[in-house]
A and B are shown apart, each in its own frame.
Chain A
Amino acid sequence: MASPLLQVLALACAWIALGALGLLRTSSTAWATRALYPAGALVGLLVAVAGLGALFQPPEALILPLGLPDLPFHVRIDALSAFFLVLLGVAAAGISVFGCGYFRADQGTAPGLVSFYYHLFLASMALVLLADDAYFFMVAWETMALSSYFLVTCDHRHAQIRSAGYLYLLIAHIGAIAILLCFGALQGGSGDYSFDGMRAAQVSGAWATVAYVLALAGFGAKAGIVPLHVWLPEAHPAAPSPVSALMSGVMLKTAIYGLLRVTLDLISFPLWWWGVVALALGLATALFGIVFAAVQSDMKRLLAWSSIENIGLIFAGFGLTLIFRGFGMGALAALALTATLFHCLNHACYKSLLFLCTGSVMHATSERSLGRLGGLIHRMPWVAWCALVGTIAIAGLPPSNGFASEWLLLQAFLFTPGLPQSYLNMLVPVAAAVVALTAALSGYVMVKFYGVVFLGQPREPKLAEAHDAGIWERTGLAWLAMVCVVLGLAPATVIGLLDPVTRALTGSGIAGLAQGWLFLAPIQPERASYSPLLVFAVAATIVLLAWLLVRLFYHGRSRRTRAWDCGFPFLNARMQDTAEGFGQPVRHVFETFFRIRTQAPAPRDLRPVYRESQEDRFWYGLYLPVAQGVNWVTGLVTVLQRGRISTYLTYSFATLLLLLLFVG
C-alpha cells in the first residue's frame, strides 16, 4: 500500500492521462463520454478515499524530480489538504458521472478537447492542494485558471460567452499577481520559496499584514468576494453545467484553502483585526450576493449569485476563526473553523447538485431563462426531486446539511460576547443579524428558483415535450443528493473527520466534546445540542401518522378538475408569477443595492415595451472608471508609437546613450 501522498499524486497523473487520451480522438463523443468521463469519476472517488485515509495520518512531504534546475516541485499532504481533497473527490465523482450523459457533439469545442481541459482542470485543483512551494503552487494555480478559462469559453460561438471568459481571465490574473506578491512578502528576505521556508521565516508585523492583505485580495478574487465578484455571475453561467458545478462547487473552495493555508499555517499567528476585515467583507458579500440572486431571471446566474452569498458566509466564518485565534481562544476558533470547513463541504455538494439540475433542464428544454420554464416536476420528476433536496439544503433548513453548518456558525457567533474587546462585542450581534437575514433571504431565493422552474404550469408549449434526465445524469444527481442527505443527518461524524484539521490549524478540536454520533453538541451539551437524525425521525413519524390516521378515518375520494378561476374563465400559464415578479419585493426593499434602469413606453405607443434592468453598482462605480483610466494611460503611450522605422531607431539610439551614461 503506497502512502496517501503517492496515491493522490498517481491519481492526479491519472486525470492528466485521461485528458491526454481525449486528444487521441478529439471528435468522438462516445470515446469521451463512455470511456473517459466514467474513468474520471472513478478516479474522483479514489481521490476522496485517499484523502480520507490521509486525514488521520501525520503530514508527509516529498520533493519531485521536476521543475526548474534549482527549484524542484515540493509536494506535501496534511490534514487541511486531505480534507479539501475529499471535497474535490466527492464532488468530482458525481459531476463526472453526470458529464457522461451531458456532453454532446456540436456544442462548440470538440468533445475530446473538452475532456482534455476538464481532466486537466481536475488534476490542477488536486495539485494546488498538494503544492508545498510557491513556484509549484503558482504553476498549478495558473493551470487551473487557464483550463477553466477554456472550459468557460467552450461555446465560443457567442460573443457574450467570449467576453465573459475574457473578464474571468483578467480578474483571475489580477488575483494571481496578488498571490505571487503575497508569497514574496512571506519569504521574509530569505529567498526560500518553499512553504517550509516560509513557516520557518515567521514574518511578523507589517510584512505579515501586507501578506495577509495580498492573500485576501488574491484568493478573494478567485472566491468572488465583493468587490472582485463581477466575473462570477458572468463566467459560471457561460460554462457547460458540469463545469459550472465544478467551478462553483470546488474551484471557489481552492481559494478558501489557499487563504487558510496562508493565514493559519504559513503565518500561523494572525492578528485579531484581520478577522474583523474578513468578517465585514464576508457579510457584505453574503448580503449583496443573495439580494442580487433574488432578482435574477436566468437560473444559472441566480445560482452563481447564490454562490457569492455562500462564499460570503464562509468568509464570515473564516473571519470569526481569525478573531478567536487572534485572542488565543483555541476551542472557539476550532468551532468557527469547523463551521467554515463544513459549510465549504456542504456548498460543494448542494451547489454542484443544483447546477447539474439546471444542466438537465437545459438539455430537456433548451431554455435557461426562468420566464420560459415551469411545471417541470411533471415531466422531469427525477430531476425535480433531486433539486428539492438541494433547495432545502441551500435554504439552510433542518434537517439538511446546510442547516447543520449554519447552526454551527450561529453557535460560534453566540460565544462572541466573551471576547475581550468591547467594540467587537457590540458589532457581533449585528453580524449575527446579517447572517440570519441572509439565511432567510436564501429561502426566498430558493422558493423562487424551485417554484418557477419545477412547479406551476409550463410557460411555453414546447415544455410539454421535455424528457427526464438519462441514466448517467440521474446517477450523478442521485449521488450528490445522497451525499447532501448523509452530511445533513450525520454531522457529528463529519465533525469527527474535521477534527484533525482544526487540531493542526488552531491547536484544538471540538470533536471530543460532541456527544457520540447522534448529538451535535459543540461546546457543552447543556449549552446547545442538535440531532438532525432525531428531528428527521420524529418529524417523519408525525407526518406518516397524520397521513395514516387521515386515510384510515376519511378515505375520501379525490377528483380532478380545472383550477379555481375566480369567475374569470380565460386563465392561462402566462398569468402565473414571473421570475421578475417574484423578485420584485426584494428589489423594492433593497432598492439602494441596485442601479435600476427603466425604459417606459411613450404614451400612445402602438407596440409598448417596458424594460427594466437591475445592474451591479460596482460595475459602473469601480470597473468602468478603472477601465477608462487604463485606456487613457495607454492612449498616452500610443503617442510614442508612430509607426515609422526612423522614429523607432531614434528611440533605440536614445536608450543606448542613456545606458552608456549609466554605465559610464
Chain B
Amino acid sequence: MISASGLAAQFTELMLAVLLAPLLTGWVNQCRAWLQNRSAPPLLQPYYVLAKLFAKDVVLAHSASPLFRFAPYLIFGCIALAAAIVPTLGTDLPMNAAADAIALVGLLALARLFIALAGMDIGTAFGSLGSRREMLVGFLAEPALLMVLFTASLISGSTSLATIVETLAHKEFVIYPSLAFAGVAFTMVSLAENARIPVDNPSTHLELTMIHEAMVLEYSGRHLAMIEWAASLKLFVYSCIGLAIFFPFGVAEGGDAFGIVMALPALILKLAIGGVFLALIETLSAKMRIFRAPEFLGIAFLLAVLSMLVHVLLER
C-alpha cells in the first residue's frame, strides 16, 4: 500500500513545508510594508531572525518546568506533522491514510494546548492572559475549521484530504454556494488562528492587545526560534489547507514524479498570490478589541455551519 515514490513525495513535501514556511512569512511582511508605504525588510528576514535566535543563549525563569522546555519541540512536531498531511504537491501521501481532516484539526488543537500550557507555566500575568485569549480564539475557531472541512468532506464523500483534493480538482469549475460560505468562514478562521489583524497583531508588543506574543513572552534563544518557526509553519499549513480545498488545481495525482515537479511552481504562485491577499486584508482592516473577537469568530462558525446546511439542502 505504501510505495517508495509515495514515501519520497511525503518526505519532499514535509521538508519543503518546513524550509519554505519562513519565506512565506517574509513575503507577507514585505507585501504589507509595500502596501503601507514603508521600506520593506528583506525577503529572507525571517531566516536571519531564526539563525540569530538559535545562536543565542536561553534565559529561563526560575519557575520554568520541564514542560516549558519541551513544549517548543512538541508544538513544532505537531504542526510539521499537520503540514505533512495536507496535499500540496501530490496526493499520493502515505500519511494521508494515517490522519484525515479531523486528525488535522486535532493536531493543530494539540499544538495550541501545549503552547497555552507553556504560556501558563511561568506564572506571570501576561503569560496566563495570553493563554486565556488564545484558548478563547481557539474554542470558536476550531469547530469552525472542522465545519469547513466537513463541508468539503460531504461534497467528496470522504474525510481523507487526498480524496477531497482529487474530487474537488475534478469537478467542473462552477461556484458552489456551500464552498463560497466555507471560503469566507475559512478566511476568518485562518486570520484568527495565525494571530493576524483584525484579531491579533503579529508585530505588536503593546501588552493589552496581544495574544500570541503575550503567551511566548518568556521564551528566548532556541526555544523562541522553534516557536517562531512553528508559527510560520502554521501560516503555511493554513494557506495550504485553503489552497487544497478552494484552489486544488495543479496538484499532481498519484505518484507521478513529473506532475510533482510541475506542481511546485503552481504552488509557489498560488502561495504568493495568497500572501498578497493576506497583506491586503491586514492593511485594510483595523485591529478589534479582544471582546469583539468572539463575535467575529461566532460569525465564522455560523457561516461554516451554514455552508454545510446549504450543501445538504441545495447541492444533493
Q: Which residues of A contact B (CB under 8 A)?
A: 374-375, 377-378, 388, 391-392, 395-398, 403, 407, 410-411, 414, 417, 425-426, 428-430, 432-433, 436-437, 439-441, 443-444, 446-448, 450-452, 455-457, 519, 525-531, 534-535, 538-540, 542-543, 546-547, 550, 553-554, 556-566, 571, 573, 575-577, 581-582, 584-586, 588-589
Contacts and interface: CB of A to CB of B under 8 A. Distances in A.
A447 B158 contact: no
Contacts of B316: 417
A592 to B, nearest CB: 13
B313 A426 contact: yes
Interface stretch (B20-28, B34-42, B267-275, B301-309): B301-309
Given A411-B159, A526-B163, A576-B125, A443 B117 contact: no
28 contacts: A377-B121, A378-B65, A398-B106, A414-B154, A414-B159, A429-B308, A429-B309, A430-B305, A433-B143, A433-B301, A443-B139, A447-B113, A447-B116, A447-B131, A447-B135, A456-B63, A457-B63, A527-B159, A529-B97, A529-B100, A539-B81, A539-B107, A550-B226, A558-B221, A560-B60, A560-B64, A561-B60, A581-B132
Given A519-B98, A554-B54, A556-B54, 6 more contacts: A375-B63, A426-B309, A432-B308, A456-B128, A554-B55, A573-B123
A5 B50 CA distance: 65
A526 B98 contact: no
A540 B70 CA distance: 12
B30 interface: no
Contacts of B153: 414
A432 B129 contact: no
A584 B140 CA distance: 15
Contacts of B298: 589
Contacts of B117: 447, 450-451, 455
Q: How many B residues touch the partner, as a band?
A: 35 or more
A625 to B, nearest CB: 33
B278 to A, nearest CB: 24
Contact of A560 (B61, B109, B129, B154): B61
Given A542-B76, A576-B125, A444 B135 contact: yes
Contact of A526 (B55, B65, B160, B218): B160
B143 A439 contact: yes
A542 B138 CA distance: 24
Nearest to B99: A535
Contacts of B291: 588
B168 to A, nearest CB: 15
Given A443-B139, A577-B132, A582-B132, A451 B62 contact: no
A398 B222 contact: no
A441 B135 CA distance: 9
Contacts of B95: 534, 538
A173 to B, nearest CB: 38
Contacts of B55: 554, 556
Contacts of B64: 560
B124 A564 contact: yes
B48 interface: no
A559 B138 contact: no
Interface string B46-63: 000000001111111111
B126 interface: yes
A577 B129 contact: yes
B143 A440 contact: yes
B125 A575 contact: yes
Contacts of A451: 116-117, 120-121, 128, 131
B73 interface: yes
Nearest to B156: A527
B199 interface: no
Contacts of B109: 395, 397, 440, 443
B54 A436 contact: no
Nearest to A430: B305
A461 B37 CA distance: 54
Interface of B: 54-67, 73-74, 76-78, 80-81, 84, 95, 97-100, 102-103, 106-107, 109-110, 112-113, 116-117, 120-126, 128-129, 131-133, 135-136, 138-140, 142-143, 146-147, 150, 153-154, 157-160, 163, 207, 217-218, 221-222, 226, 291, 294, 298, 301, 304-305, 308-309, 312-313, 316
A407 B103 contact: yes
Contacts of A388: 67
A432 B160 contact: no
Contact of A539 (B77, B308, B313): B77
Contacts of B207: 566
Contact of A443 (B78, B100, B138, B221): B138
A559 B66 CA distance: 14
A382 B154 CA distance: 44
Output the residue of B67, B120, B133 with the most chain A CB within 10 A: B120
A295 B127 CA distance: 20
A64 to B, nearest CB: 47
A398 B81 CA distance: 12
Given A403-B106, A432-B147, A550-B222, A398 B99 contact: yes
A386 B210 CA distance: 32
A529 B138 contact: no
A588 B123 CA distance: 24
A255 to B, nearest CB: 28
A631 B176 CA distance: 61
A391 B122 CA distance: 19
A444 B65 contact: no
Nearest to B124: A563
Nearest to B295: A589
B57 A538 contact: no
Contact of A456 (B56, B62, B107, B123): B123
B153 to A, nearest CB: 6
A525 B100 CA distance: 11
B54 A414 contact: no
Nearest to B310: A429
Given A398-B110, A526-B163, A575-B125, A535 B81 contact: yes
B116 A531 contact: no
Nearest to A450: B117
Contacts of B66: 377
A441 B142 CA distance: 9
A527 B160 contact: yes
Output the residue of B57, B62, B81, B298 with the most chain A CB within 10 A: B81
B73 A547 contact: yes
Nearest to A550: B222
Contacts of B65: 377-378, 455
B305 A563 contact: no
Nearest to A417: B312
Contacts of B116: 447, 451
Contact of A577 (B54, B97, B128, B136): B128
Contact of A542 (B81, B102, B157, B218): B81
A554 B222 contact: yes
Contacts of B304: 433
B78 A433 contact: no
B156 to A, nearest CB: 10
Contacts of A444: 135-136, 138-139
